[in-house]
Amino acid sequence: MQRWTSKPLPFARDPQAPIVSAALELIGVEQRTPSFSAHLYLNNTRVRESAGVEAKGYAGSFAFFGHGEDCWGDEGHCRIPEAVSPFDQRVESSSQPANVTVDISEALKQTAERGEVRVTILAWAAGASNKALEPLRFKELMLVTYS
């Protein structure tokens, strides 16, 4: 199991334009990772692994069909290739990092009075032999609110 907690993400609260929906966007999720499932919690940094979806601050979950960590090819096979020249028209790599969006509208409303959230993500790699792996790698977490 993998645990990750974000720095505080502030968000504006405007009584004239209340938040109607909100999402967390994981940007640049590494695809060369085992498949996994993940739970997201708001302002519950100590949430236990077994807490599940009933725990305080539960905001949503997602699964990720990852391309696996072990590269079967020869050296360099799974490296994301750079264009070798301006004339390189080969298609981009399908291993480029991806983005994942999780709707947290309801959960954010519950914590709205605080004006900021810390996000804790618990992630579990799929498959019995992958239990010790930390499958989630990403570049940035963005909180987006809509009024």
Binder to other proteins among 37, 55, 105, 114 (CB under 8 A)?
Answer: 37
Q: Closest CB to other proteins among 6 and 61? A: 61
Q: Closest CB to other proteins among 25 and 114? A: 25
Beta strand pairing status for 58-64 and 116-117? unpaired
CA angle, residues 76, 82, 84, in degrees to nearest 5? 105
Q: Closest CB to other proteins among 68 and 115? A: 68
Binder to other proteins among 19, 55, 98, 112 (CB under 8 A)?
Answer: 98
Q: 């990852």: which residue's tokens?
A: 66
Binder to other proteins among 124, 133, 136, 143 (CB under 8 A)?
Answer: 124
Q: How deeply is 109 buried, as exposed, middle or buried, from its count of CB atoms within 10 A (0-12, 13-18, 19+)?
A: middle
